Chain A
């Protein structure tokens, strides 16, 4: 059974810092992993999807890596800004489906 955990649960950093969010999953037989952003009271915005054949995926200041053998993914945010303040969720699919199992999220606050 797939289980997904995220650390830290919350993070508060000054503007400009580079930071790393961590995601761990128990079933390494995944074909992709997705990172989302959720603003308070809003739905989810897809940030990055990284395929199992890839080690990294980049979009602007965001970089996601995937290491299936260790059951880990990281989301790297460069030069953080107050607008990056949100909850970040990772999600791994149940084997051979598109059904997602979500982590508990990391609540990020970037202060000026």
Chain B
């Protein structure tokens, strides 16, 4: 089966800094998404990463805080900017190879902000 690689797997960062998370798929996909899982909670969709254009953000998430790139059909990045302790979460990318088909997730990036 296809592989979804997410890097880094975990990081501890200082308040006010930014971190870029990478998601690499070993085959071309139709859709790529970014989710956040806050401690003890379920997943919330941050945005849809659109290939070659600006991401589509969900309510409560903005581009200045979570800039996203998707330069091609196999790669996307999520940046968490100007981090605060409230950003401590697991960030997960997911992909769909064809609309209406199962969504598959990377292993996530566990982020802690001091």
Chain A residues at the B interface, C-beta cutoff of 8 Å: 31-32, 34, 36, 41-46, 49, 51, 89, 91, 98-105
Complex Cα–Cα for A96 and B99 (A): 10
Complex Cα–Cα for A44 and B58 (A): 21
Q: Which residues of A contact B108 (CB under 8 A)?
A: 42-43
Report the minimum CB–CB distance from A37 to chain B (whole Å). 11
Per-residue interface assignment for chain B, residues 29 to 63, with 1 indicating a CB less than 8 Å from any chain A CB and 0 otherwise: 00101000000011111001000000000100000
Q: Is the interface of A mostly helix, strand, loop or mixed?
A: strand
Chain B residues at the A interface, C-beta cutoff of 8 Å: 6, 31, 33, 41-45, 48, 58, 92, 94, 96, 99-108, 110
Q: Which residues of A contact B33 (CB under 8 A)?
A: 98-100
Closest to A47 in B: B102
Q: Which of B41, B94, B110 contacts A41 (CB 8 A)?
A: B110
Complex Cα–Cα for A45 and B4 (A): 12
Complex Cα–Cα for A43 and B37 (A): 10
A46 touches B103 (CB 8 A): yes
Q: A91-B103, A105-B42 are in contact. List 17 more A-B contacts (CB 8 A).
A: A34-B102, A34-B103, A36-B105, A43-B108, A44-B92, A45-B105, A46-B102, A46-B104, A46-B105, A98-B31, A98-B103, A99-B48, A100-B43, A100-B45, A100-B94, A100-B103, A102-B43
A42 touches B107 (CB 8 A): yes
B42 touches A103 (CB 8 A): yes
Closest to B110 in A: A41
A43 touches B99 (CB 8 A): no
Q: What are 7 A-B contacts defined by CB distance under 8 Å?
A: A32-B100, A34-B102, A36-B105, A43-B105, A89-B43, A99-B33, A100-B103
Closest to B48 in A: A99
B92 touches A31 (CB 8 A): no
Report the minimum CB–CB distance from B102 to chain A (whole Å). 4
Complex Cα–Cα for A42 and B33 (A): 17
Complex Cα–Cα for A43 and B108 (A): 5
Q: Which residues of A contact B102 (CB under 8 A)?
A: 34, 46, 49
Complex Cα–Cα for A26 and B103 (A): 21
